[in-house]
Amino acid sequence: MMTVHFTCKNCGSGIHVYPSLEANRIQCEICQTQQEVHFDQNHMEAILKDCPCCQRKDFYSQKDFNRKLGVIIFVVAAIISTIMLWYGLGPQWYLSTFIVLYAMDFLLFRRLNMIAICYKCATIFRNVSNIEQVPGFNHEMNDRIVYADHNFEGKPLDPH
Ligand SMILES: [Zn+2]
Ligand SMILES: [Zn+2]
């Protein structure tokens, strides 16, 4: 099932919801601010065509990168190399630790799922069934949507 991660317009907290045809309002757990949502049958089938928050049709896809995991891997590598240094092992040993952990990070990163994000309101969509139809991030589109309030109506610019 598709999961939707809204950003509270008032305090910026994340609000996680599953699409539901009955739900037309969501409430922020932090500041209790309510905002309107518009779920339709497409959302119930994990098809992303319209944003349930701002009702735009312009999205981009990216890897669901877990920043915390990257930090943990880096800390583990630092601890291991400190221990190696303590035991008097040469730099080639702790350098190789970093390389191994970097490779692990790379493999984990590559295996991560793709997510779709709304240009206009930054709502994040996970487990989108038509994710292949969502193009990658386009700087020009982002600038025109965010700064000039342009609406591409779901017709992305050709990537250059
Ligand atoms: Zn809030
Ligand atoms: Zn939106």
3-state secondary structure 20-52: CCCCCEEECCCCCCEEECCCCHHHHCCCCCCCC
Look at residue 155 and tell me if it is in a domain.
Answer: no
Look at residue 38 and tell me if it is in a domain.
Answer: yes
Between CA 142 and CA 140 the distance in angstroms is: 5
Res 30: pLDDT: 95
Res 154: pLDDT: 94
Of residues 127 and 109, more confidence is placed in 127
Residues 6+ apart with CB under 8 A from 68: none
Q: What is the pTM for the complete model shown? A: 0.74
Percent of the chain with pLDDT over 90: 61
The residue range of the domain holding 106 is: 67-111
Q: Is the pLDDT of residue 93 over 60?
A: yes
Look at residue 46 and tell me if it is in a domain.
Answer: yes
Question: Count of domains in the chain?
Answer: 2
> Do 24 and 50 share a domain, yes or no?
yes
Cα 26 to averaged position of ligand 1 atoms, centre (Å): 11
Res 72: pLDDT: 81
* Residues facing residue 136 across a β-bridge: 61
Q: Which ligand is nearest to the CA of 10?
A: 1
Between CA 67 and CA 30 the distance in angstroms is: 23
Cα 18 to averaged position of ligand 1 atoms, centre (Å): 18
> Do 9 and 74 share a domain, yes or no?
no
Cα 114 to averaged position of ligand 1 atoms, centre (Å): 26
Parallel, antiparallel or unpaired: strands 34-36 and 59-63? unpaired
Q: 42 φ, ψ to 5°? A: -60, -45
Q: Is the pLDDT of residue 41 over 90?
A: yes
Q: Is the pLDDT of residue 160 over 60?
A: no
